[in-house]
Amino acid sequence: MSVDAATVRRIAHLARIAVTEAEVPHLQGELNTMLAFVEQLSEVNIDGVEPMTSVTPMEMKKRQDVVNDGEIPDDIVRNAPETQNHFFLVPKVVE
Amino acid sequence: MTVSVKPGKLIKGQTGDWEVVIGMEVHAQVTSKSKLFSGASTEFGGEPNSHVSLVDAAMPGMLPVINEECVKQAVRTGLGLNAKINLRSVFDRKNYFYADSPQGYQISQYKSPVVGEGEIVVELDGGRTATIGIERLHLEQDAGKLLHDQSPTMSYVDLNRCGVALMEIVSKPDIRDAEQAKAYVTKLRSILRYLGTCDGDMEKGSLRADVNVSVRKPGGPLGTRCEIKNMNSINFIGQAIEYEARRQIEIIEDGGTIDQETRLFDPNKGETRSMRSKEEAHDYRYFPDPDLLPLEFTQSYVDELKAKLPELPDQKKARFIESLGLSPYDAGVLVAERESAVFYETVLAGLADKARDGKLAANWVINELFGRLNKEGHGIGDSPVSAAQLAAIVGLIGEGTISGKIAKDLFEIVWTEGGDPRELVEARGMKQVTDLGAIEKVVDDIIAANPDKVAQAKAKPQLAGWFVGQVMKQSGGKANPQAVNDLLKAKLGI
């Protein structure tokens, strides 16, 4: 499996990472090196093998349905570049 | 599981009849105190970003921990939809970039949902029913809310709703017209509310539907579908389907083709319109969420929840028909809304003789009470006549203390003035006269005063009704109609 230049641009866009035209060939090379490395795994026969979800046999922990978090709006917006009345403000996303 | 699809109403076009094929995705907010993966409150509204934890805000290093109540609610809902419960399911990340999701992805279930195939029976006009297949139900996170009208250049982000648990319930494309679609959402909402797994409040957005509509010649291959997003009114769903089906038929008949796209319904104009077409198709790049282990539980956990399910509308309806002799229509009206069923059952509990008066009580709840509530714009929750008062009125009729006619006057008094119906009947002398001597005297007087009518009635017995009317009038409606009838028959020799 390998990616072409168009795929690199598309992935960058989906992740909202600005990639200049000049950077594309370099990134394409890096991605393809990684893919080729991972590709070696396909040599292993995994017919009938369940995907491993955890290295230790354990069940997912569950929470009780209690409200014990939140009510910290100051903390929530503390790092935001722009806020108003505890709202995050972001560049307008609809016209 | 394949259900036999009920044919729907066909739509006439220039080139003949068209069939509409509809499938729905309903998003139902799970009733729980805290969010699906955090301990923040699910309460509606609140100050901006107050019901938000560092997990919901996707701060680095925060990990989701699943709320066991949400799992339980999803399983209970699955059982209520007669569906297969999957003892093992998996959470996936659905990746998208938008300001309503600080994570950059929604935690959802893609390949392995917690609930699989099921089916529900929906009620149509005229006592008809249709069975609609359920494809799946999965748990996922709701997104935050954006306000676009606060500033010309900025959008305001409130994450209070972000991370609240949703059940996405996907139907099979078994729905064939607007009536079936409305009946489907109505029934689904009713089941959720009986189960207490979603409050069904469509105005607050607790229940919203995406409707997939396509058209085809009856029995022909499926057409291209359009998805109408975010419908939060059952009536609008019906209108949107009617409009969208006609729009597609016109395009096809004019030689055009349907573009698969997302549309929005404009209730003011009664039409659907294309949402701004995205520059590229969505690419959600689903993959299993590495922060969460598979969701697993045992069959005995499911069985225990099943044993504790409340009586659902279909079962309640069947019980009302079998044990109380209600008509399917009346039983259907009573069970459609959980509150109506609770009210009726409270009336039943207040009756001394349920077998005798149960059916009468149903008539009174549906015709007198609901009729009046609708007329005056009240809900069952703020009915001026309580279930106990209505039970007393029905009991008074059933035991023969008052006539049905007097009961309507009594109902009016209780509605406007309140009070204990039994005491009112005593205090205002509304009791039915069952004293045969008194009634007989009135009957005799009327017979004596109207010899011509007597002769007519003897010739044509159905004219005896005139005498019944006269006696009732003279007695102020309080004479026992059965006693009056018997006496008249004897006296007139008919």
Q: Which of B33, B52, B73 to mutate to test the interface with A (most CBs of A within 10 A)?
A: B52
Distance (Å) from the alpha carbon of A38 to chain B's nearest alpha carbon: 17
Q: How many CB atoms lie within 10 A of CB A88?
A: 25
The pLDDT tens digits of the residues spanning A62-88 come to: 999 999 999 999 999 999 999 999 999
Predicted confidence (pLDDT) at residue B126 exceeds the cutoff of 90: no
- The beta-carbon neighbor of B50 closest among A14, A59, A71 is A71
Asked if B57 contacts B159 with a C-beta cutoff of 8 angstroms, the reply is yes
User: Taking CB atoms and an 8 Å limit, are A68 and B34 in contact across chains?
Assistant: yes
Q: What is the pLDDT of residue B473?
A: 84
Q: What is the pLDDT of residue B457?
A: 82
Q: What is the pLDDT of residue B2?
A: 54
First to last CA, chain B: 63
Q: What mean pLDDT, rounded, does chain B reach?
A: 92
The pLDDT tens digits of the residues spanning B413-459 come to: 999 999 999 999 888 878 777 677 778 888 888 888 888 888 888 88
The type of residue at B398 is: G
> What is the value of pTM for the model shown?
0.86
Instruction: Return phi, psi of residue B258, to 5°.
Output: -90, 130
As for the ipTM of the complex, it is 0.89
Asked if B290 contacts B90 with a C-beta cutoff of 8 angstroms, the reply is no
| Rounded average pLDDT over B148-164 | 96
Of B86, B137, B135, B75, the residue nearest B108 (C-alpha): B137
Asked if the C-beta of B374 comes within 8 angstroms of chain A's C-beta atoms, the answer is no
pLDDT band per the 50, 70, 90 thresholds, residue A95? low
Q: Residue B227 is encoded by which pair of tokens?
A: 């998805």
Predicted confidence (pLDDT) at residue B296 exceeds the cutoff of 60: yes
Residue A13 vs residue B236, higher pLDDT? B236
- The beta-carbon neighbor of A77 closest among B49, B65, B152 is B49
Alpha-carbon torsion (B313, B317, B318, B320), positive or negative: positive
β-sheet bridge partners, residue B131: B121
Predicted confidence (pLDDT) at residue B279 exceeds the cutoff of 50: no
Scanning the structure block, which residue is given the tokens 């009302």?
A: B320
Predicted confidence (pLDDT) at residue B387 exceeds the cutoff of 50: yes
Asked if B104 contacts B147 with a C-beta cutoff of 8 angstroms, the reply is no
| Rounded average pLDDT over B70-89 | 98
Q: What is the pLDDT of residue A93?
A: 81
Asked if B324 contacts B358 with a C-beta cutoff of 8 angstroms, the reply is yes
Distance (Å) from the alpha carbon of A47 to chain B's nearest alpha carbon: 19
Q: Which of B42, B63, B154, B293 to mutate to test the interface with A (most CBs of A within 10 A)?
A: B154
Taking each helix axis from N to C end, the angle separating B387-398 and B354-363, rounded to the nearest 10 degrees, works out to 120
- The beta-carbon neighbor of A59 closest among B51, B54, B293 is B293
Q: How many CB atoms lie within 10 A of CB B178?
A: 25
Q: Which of B36, B43, B49, B111 to mutate to test the interface with A (most CBs of A within 10 A)?
A: B49
| Rounded average pLDDT over B101-114 | 96
Asked if B347 contacts B391 with a C-beta cutoff of 8 angstroms, the reply is yes
- Closest A-chain CA to B89: A60
Of B161, B167, B1, the residue nearest B76 (C-alpha): B167
- The beta-carbon neighbor of B292 closest among A60, A72, A85 is A60
Q: Which residues of B243-267 are buried (b: 16+ CB within 10 A; e: fewer)?
A: bbbbbbbeebeeeeebeeebbebee
